[in-house]
Amino acid sequence: MILGKGFFVTPSDSVAIIAANAQAAIPYFQGGPKGLARSMPTSGSLDRVTQKLNLPFFEVPTGWKFFGNLMDAGKLSICGEESFGTGSDHIREKDGIWAVLAWLSILAFRNKDKKPGEKLVSVSDVVKEHWATYGRNFFSRYDYEECESEGANKMIDYLRDLVSKSKAGEKYGSYVLQFADDFTYTDPVDGSVASKQGVRFVFTDGSRIIYRLSGTGSAGATVRIYIEQFEPDVSKHDMDAQIALKPLIDLALSISKLKDFTGREKPTVIT
């Protein structure tokens, strides 16, 4: 977790900012990263960095093994997940200490010409400058823990059926559907296929709603809903994420009929 003074950096933003500054600020990457990757539910902020740097990009299922395969093949340098895992090809695993050191390197680079007594560039300054350049991806995850497995599975089956009938251009409130699917990943290294990795509704403005189910043991299942909205307007970048995302959150709950299937009124955890 990266925290500045009174400022929290989302893991999605953190990996994007590390990637955007890596070549200039981190000696290990002075030749430039080989490629970038994120887990599918992680926000698209890294995608925009990839486009600007013209680097290979990979969107993989949740699970670090998918990053490991790409690293072993020399295709990947920096990667991250929305659940706080961040790492690079210096090691085959997520590395929180490395993420902190990467941020310290970025801050040292940004402040290298400051004279004693001058105001230093802060974590929030770095993040807000990044948003001004790339736009902000408002992002939140709603976890509904220990749901009754039967109801949770019925909800996912309902969403998969909805996806199978969906068409580009359909209206969902004020949002226009670009595509909807149940995410499938074909590993470019070994050709293995991972299917049913999350139901996605992706809209033409870059907004996304993703539904995933994890754990079906005796304690029940956890339903996770990921909500993301891209905002290019700098004047709106300081909004609270929950306020900025409220229309999309309401839409996510309406599409899924979560209350009907699970009986849950509120999430257990919001991140």
Q: What is the structure's pLDDT at 258?
A: 94
Both 104 and 187 in one domain: the answer is no
Domain boundary among 102, 134, 166: 134
**pLDDT tens by residue, 19-65:** 999 999 999 999 999 999 999 999 999 999 999 999 999 999 998 99
Q: What is the mean pLDDT of residues 3-8?
A: 91
- Phi/psi at 124 (5° precision): -65, -35
- Phi/psi at 145 (5° precision): -90, 150
CATH code of the domain containing 198: 3.30.310.50
What's the structural domain count of the chain?
2
Both 174 and 251 in one domain: the answer is yes
pLDDT band at 214 (very low <50, low <70, confident <90, very high): confident
Both 219 and 242 in one domain: the answer is yes
Both 185 and 166 in one domain: the answer is yes
d(CA 178, CA 59): 18
Both 74 and 153 in one domain: the answer is no
Rounded to a whole number, what is the distance in angstroms from the first to the last CA of the chain?
A: 12
Both 15 and 106 in one domain: the answer is yes
Tokens of 61: 């299922």
Both 103 and 201 in one domain: the answer is no
Both 105 and 210 in one domain: the answer is no
Q: Which residues contact 92 (CB under 8 A, 6 or more apart)?
A: 68, 71, 72
Both 26 and 104 in one domain: the answer is yes
- On average, the pLDDT of the chain sits at 93
Both 149 and 211 in one domain: the answer is yes
Both 96 and 178 in one domain: the answer is no
Tell me the residue type at 169.
G
Both 182 and 84 in one domain: the answer is no
Q: What is the mean pLDDT of residues 149-153?
A: 91
Has residue 218 got a pLDDT over 60?
no
Query: How crowded is residue 250: how many other Cβ atoms within 10 Å of its Cβ?
Result: 12
Domain boundary among 134, 162, 185: 134
Q: Which of 241, 215, 224 is nearest to 138 (CA)?
A: 241
pLDDT band at 219 (very low <50, low <70, confident <90, very high): low
Tokens of 267: 């999430």
d(CA 197, CA 184): 6
Domain that holds residue 40: 2-134
d(CA 114, CA 116): 7
Lowest-confidence segment of 13-22, 182-191, 209-218 by average pLDDT: 209-218
CATH code of the domain containing 80: 3.40.120.10
**pLDDT tens by residue, 78-117:** 999 998 899 999 988 899 999 999 999 999 999 999 999 8
**pLDDT tens by residue, 121-140:** 999 999 999 999 999 999 99
- Phi/psi at 263 (5° precision): 75, 5
d(CA 29, CA 212): 34
pLDDT band at 225 (very low <50, low <70, confident <90, very high): very high
Domain boundary among 101, 117, 134: 134
Query: How crowded is residue 241: how many other Cβ atoms within 10 Å of its Cβ?
Result: 18
Q: What is the structure's pLDDT at 128?
A: 97
Quote the distance between the C-alpha of residue 226 and its chain's center: 9
What one-character-per-residue DSSP string does the chain give?
Answer: -EEETTEEEPHHHHHHHHHHHHHHH-GGGTT--S-EEEETTS-THHHHHHHHHT--EEEE-SSHHHHHHHHHTT--SEEE-TTS-EEETTSSS--HHHHHHHHHHHHHHHTTTPPTTSPPP-HHHHHHHHHHHH-EEEEEEEEEEEE-HHHHHHHHHHHHHHHHH--TT-EETTEEEEEEEE--EE-TTT--EE----EEEEETTS-EEEEEEEEEETTEEEEEEEEEEEE--GGGTTS-HHHHTHHHHHHHHHHHTHHHHH--SS-SEE-
**Adjacent-strand bridge partners of 229:** 138
**pLDDT tens by residue, 240-263:** 999 999 999 999 999 999 999 999
Q: Which residues contact 165 (CB under 8 A, 6 or more apart)?
A: none
